[in-house]
């Protein structure tokens, strides 16, 4: 690989690492909540916002485009918060699927009115990692860091509501309030991520590393650390494949993650039960009950 090629790919690789950092953490919550496709739906809402921004004359990647997209994402966050309060009647996944389908359809309609609508739809799906600039990465790191600090300060509440909502409610936590705060903060991340990598990249980094490590590891911290490692490996292999076989970078990364999860499932079937126990898989957990009882949290609201 030439020096020029390495310099061209370096921002794309840095963008993938930035995506890995925050998305693997949020993926733990998404998997625990059992709302696997919420990020895909919210990413599509953000993409619809960006498409509408271009329709009214905003430049792609501009501040105007970002804030219009963020506004759309906040509306989606409110809808998903309301949906959870109605899950006794209608599963949350039904609302998520409806939002995704409707926003996808409207995005196609709006993009059809743009001069390069087909290109816009393609970029919404797989992004264009090679066009990411260091300035864009720096701004994204700032946004992700702010969200990360917020989640660290209130980590007990977020994990308790995600992993054991019944206990959270019993301790006085407002499920609706913390759901809304989660989805709003999630919205900041998704809006930035879609602008940088596209809908499929966002879904891949959020869900696939977390699912892979959930097959073998039990503890939350172990899953987080291993998930970062999986995200790093997928980024290296995906970008490497895009160079070696002259493939679109974003699509190559997503396909690589797909291959990795296939290998992980095969390994899960082949590894003896005793070996899985050594890896901490005494009680495999994807969603539902917490692995260990979270610390008590008290709140009046």
Token duo for residue 289 = 């009950």
Q: Is 145 domain-assigned?
A: yes
Q: Is 296 domain-assigned?
A: no
pTM reported for the whole predicted model? 0.80
Q: Is 299 domain-assigned?
A: no
Q: How many CB atoms lie within 10 A of CB 244?
A: 10
Q: Is 292 domain-assigned?
A: no
* C-alpha 233 chain-centroid distance: 17
Q: Is 110 domain-assigned?
A: yes
C-alpha distances in Å from residue 162, one per residue of 169, 183, 291, 294: 11, 12, 12, 11
**Domain membership of residue 235 as a residue range:** 3-278
Q: Is 286 domain-assigned?
A: no
By the 8 A CB rule, do 55 and 114 touch?
yes
Q: Is 153 domain-assigned?
A: yes
Q: Is 295 domain-assigned?
A: no
Listed as own residue / partner, the contacts of 62-71 with beta carbons closer than 8 Å and 24 or more positions apart are 65/195, 66/191, 66/192, 66/195, 69/191, 69/194, 69/195, 70/46, 70/187, 70/188, 70/191
Task: Provide the CATH number for the domain around residue 133.
Answer: 1.10.3470.10
By the 8 A CB rule, do 68 and 58 touch?
yes
Q: What is the pLDDT along the chain (301 residues), one digit of tens a residue?
A: 666 777 778 888 999 999 999 999 999 998 888 777 887 888 889 888 988 988 888 887 788 888 999 999 999 888 888 887 777 677 878 888 899 899 889 988 888 888 766 666 666 666 678 788 898 899 999 999 999 999 999 999 999 998 888 898 888 888 889 989 999 999 899 888 888 888 888 889 999 999 999 988 888 889 999 999 999 999 999 999 988 888 888 889 999 999 999 999 998 888 766 555 545 554 444 444 444 444 444 444 4
Q: State the total domains in the chain.
A: 1
């Amino acid at each position: 690989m030439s020096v020029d090629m390495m310099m061209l790919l370096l921002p794309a690789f840095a963008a993938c690492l930035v995506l890995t950092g925050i998305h693997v953490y949020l993926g733990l919550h998404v998997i625990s909540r059992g709302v696997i496709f919420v990020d895909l739906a919210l990413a599509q809402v953000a993409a619809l916002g960006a498409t509408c921004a271009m329709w009214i004359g905003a430049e792609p990647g501009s501040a105007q485009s970002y804030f219009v997209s963020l506004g759309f994402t906040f509306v989606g966050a409110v809808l998903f918060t309301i949906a959870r309060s109605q899950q006794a009647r209608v599963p949350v996944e039904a609302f998520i699927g409806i939002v995704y389908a409707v926003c996808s359809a409207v995005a196609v309609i709006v993009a059809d009115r743009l001069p390069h609508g087909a290109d816009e739809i393609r970029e919404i799906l797989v992004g264009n990692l090679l066009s990411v600039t260091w300035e864009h990465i720096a701004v994204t790191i700032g946004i992700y860091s702010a969200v990360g600090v917020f989640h660290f300060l209130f980590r007990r509440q977020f994990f308790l509501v995600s992993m054991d909502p019944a206990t959270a409610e019993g301790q006085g936590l407002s499920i609706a309030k913390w759901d809304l705060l989660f989805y709003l903060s999630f919205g900041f991340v998704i809006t930035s991520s879609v602008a940088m990598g596209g809908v499929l990249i966002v879904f891949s980094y959020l869900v696939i590393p977390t699912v892979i490590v959930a097959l073998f590891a039990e503890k939350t911290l172990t899953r987080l650390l291993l998930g970062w490692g999986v995200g790093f490996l997928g980024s290296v292999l995906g970008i490497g494949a895009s160079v070696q076989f002259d493939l679109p970078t974003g699509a190559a990364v997503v396909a690589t993650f797909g291959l990795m999860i296939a290998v992980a499932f095969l390994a899960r079937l082949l590894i003896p039960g005793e070996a899985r126990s050594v890896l901490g898989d005494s009680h495999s957990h994807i969603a539902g009950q917490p692995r260990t009882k979270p610390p008590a949290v008290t709140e009046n609201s």
